[in-house]
Amino acid sequence: MRWSKTLIPTLRESPAEAEITSHKLMLRAGLIRKLSGGLYTFLPLGLRVLRKVENIIREEMNRAGALEILMPALQPSDIWQQSGRYRTMQDVFYKLQDRAKREFILGPTHEEVLTTLISAEIDSYKQLPLNFYQIQTKFRDEIRPRFGLMRAREFIMKDAYSFDATDEESQVSYQKMYDAYVKIFHRCGVKAVPVEADTGVMGGKFSHEFVIPADSGECEIAYCDACSYAANVERATSRLNPSDHEQEQPQAPLTPEKFPTPEVKTIDDLAKPPYNIKPEDQIKTLVYIVEDKPIILLLRGSDQLNEAKLAGVTGTLLFRPATDEEITKLMDAHAGSLGAVGLTGIPVYADATLQPAQSMTTGANEDGFHVRNIDVKRDINVEKWADIRVVKPGEPCPVCGAPLKIRRAIEAGHVFKLGTKYSDALDAFFLDHDGRRKPSIMGCYGIGVTRTVQAIIEQCNDDAGITWPLNVAPYSVCITPLNTKPDSEVMSMAEDIYNKLLAADIDVIIDDRNERPGVKFKDSELVGFPIRIGIGDKSLAKGVVELKPRTAEMITIKPEDVVDKVLELVGART
RNA sequence: CGGAGCGUAGCUCAGCUUGGUCAGAGCACUUGGUUUGGGACCAAGAAGUCGCAGGUUCGAAUCCUGUCGCUCCGACCA
């Protein structure tokens, strides 16, 4: 490609709309442009990167035995009614109607579509296992699109769906995808780590996320340096022994005692003088509305509620904190004085760490009063004990006991073991050896392709610009003639090398613009081509050209050796 | 959806508090010339109904109201 014949609108300054490095660089390097919030056009260079990532994914999916298909983005809403997700996922739908007022949804994902297909086409265990995938645009009405391609309303996803006759075979399918993902991210030149994850709205048995560590990431992972444990904080647990909190508790049982606490509204207030009650010795009482019914949630005052775990415990995503009005009506007290002691009529779920807790302090359910000496098991009518807290850094790893660390990361891929949730709901049954009708065991596997592109940049950049890994760079080589007069020795040498690299099937671009050297150097570094070949009168006078890897020192080389050297560097790719 | 901030030329921004030589700068762009190894210089030029709509006023980029768009934080800690 000739620079002068394509569009690479580089920017010297970062547009005000971009906040994080990768977003700024995508705009400055002329890869994308925004149409509207969460909607982006891929310019020629950005599209080349996107296609390279897609092709790596495609190759590894095919190698793993998955079959590429293409499903409609526009989907009738009734299949979502059937699966039950019309209600649970309604917030993310873009809905629309046809002229006959039938309702459609722009697909946020494709379990329903594919399961419907499988229901009609697959009748026998002899046809299994199967795994289908597609690379396609998804539509989600995100609460808040942000950071460019990181969280967009419209984005490209690779989604795969496996169907197996038995649980064991399903596990094999899952592992194949897991292994393929490891290869995909490795080939993309990005460091990604698999972590245990929450299954969220997908439902299902268990899952792993592939995350790319980055401070700008939107999820948090807990991980252990001493062993391989790593999990999304939504799922992460710790070996925190409940009795850790209780070691200083007196042996003799104490009776509950109400005491006045005017002005106390928060856990922190009660932790200060004159009360001096440590947060971990307080009970935090939360009121939630789950499927229109109230429940009480109890945690240590020092702990945070983990809504993902709550979703697992309640089996629904349709819950929210109660409003102040609802709390007052239900509890006869305001938030800040709530407590569950002696409470009946509203189910109480308590975090497991409270099970052995004695001598705790909690609201008296009467404004201006708290009660102390509470033994949770003795004094509170707990309907369910469960892990509903967020782990904190420094807590013992659940596997090996070393202190856990927490850091931010970008979720780039997710593999789910789904079980039979969708095959049951959408009638994807087959006849097994024994003549019995059984639901297929499903798995689903997603990679955010556009998000991965940006995540690569988030990880691969320096002060000058992007430092593309070779396998996903828009062009592997940029030839930079410093004199573009058509009949000059420099330009004819540049053209000669350009043609030879083209003939050798190298992705090469020649910067044939009549720009000053500084402009060309800055642009090639901003865009981030892995190899730059600089040709100027000065170097040519010495009988050499310059070969500058983007992230290594420049070398000079005889013109006739350039092609071999490039092949050597490019051939090193995986 | 709640909170905060921002909308002035393609991009980055000044001007707004105190209404009236207030349609501005730099970069980018066009033309001519000089330059040519790290974002050149000189000269001339093109480019904005100051997001939009109302209102106040003799007069509004500037004040008021509404609205749209964009960005950030939050949407759990009672």
ipTM here:
0.92
Q: Which of A169, A135, A172, A141 is nearest to A61 (CA)?
A: A135
**What topology is assigned to A242-386 in CATH?**
YbaK protein (3.90.960)
Q: Which nucleotides of B are covered by protein (CB under 7 A)?
A: 1, 6, 11-13, 26-28, 35-40, 69-78
Q: How far apart are CA A42 and CA A31, in angstroms?
A: 6
323-342 of chain A touching strand B, CB 7 A cut-off? 324, 327, 335-338
The backbone torsions φ and ψ at residue A457, rounded to the nearest 5 degrees and listed phi first, read: -65, -40
Is 70 exceeded by the pLDDT of residue A50?
yes
Q: What is the DSSP letter of A197?
A: E
Query: In sequence order, what DSSP letters do the residues of A280-302 get, joined into one string?
Result: GGBEEEEEEEETTEEEEEEEETT
Q: Which of A275, A329, A271, A319 is nearest to A297 (CA)?
A: A319
Specify the CATH architecture of the domain A17-237+406-458.
Answer: 2-Layer Sandwich (3.30)
Position A574 confidence tier, pLDDT thresholds 50, 70, 90: very low
| pTM (two decimals) | 0.90
Q: Among residues of chain A, what percentage have pLDDT more than 90?
A: 58
What sign does the CA torsion over A119, A125, A126, A130 have? positive
Instruction: Give the number of C-alpha atoms closer than 13 A to the C-alpha of residue A354, restricted to the C-beta side.
Output: 36
User: Do A280 and A365 contact (CB within 8 A), yes or no?
Assistant: no
* pLDDT tens track for A291-322: 888 888 988 888 888 888 888 788 777 787 88
Q: How far apart are CA A461 and CA A193, in angstroms?
A: 19
Q: What is the mean pLDDT of chain A?
A: 90
Q: How far apart are CA A450 and CA A246, in angstroms?
A: 49
Nucleotide nearest to A324 (CA to C1'): B78
**What topology is assigned to A475-571 in CATH?**
Rossmann fold (3.40.50)
Q: How far apart are CA A177 and CA A442, in angstroms?
A: 13
User: Where do the domains of chain A lie?
Assistant: 17-237+406-458, 242-386, 475-571
- From the Cβ of A534, is strand B under 7 Å away? yes
Strands A465-466 vs A461-462: parallel, antiparallel or unpaired: antiparallel
Q: Which two tokens stand for residue A12?
A: 């010297």
* pLDDT tens track for A89-129: 888 899 988 999 999 999 999 999 999 999 999 999 999 99
Q: Which of A71, A97, A292 is nearest to A161 (CA)?
A: A71
Q: How far apart are CA A473 and CA A463, in angstroms?
A: 18
426-455 of chain A touching strand B, CB 7 A cut-off? none
Neighbours of A135 (CB within 10 A): 20
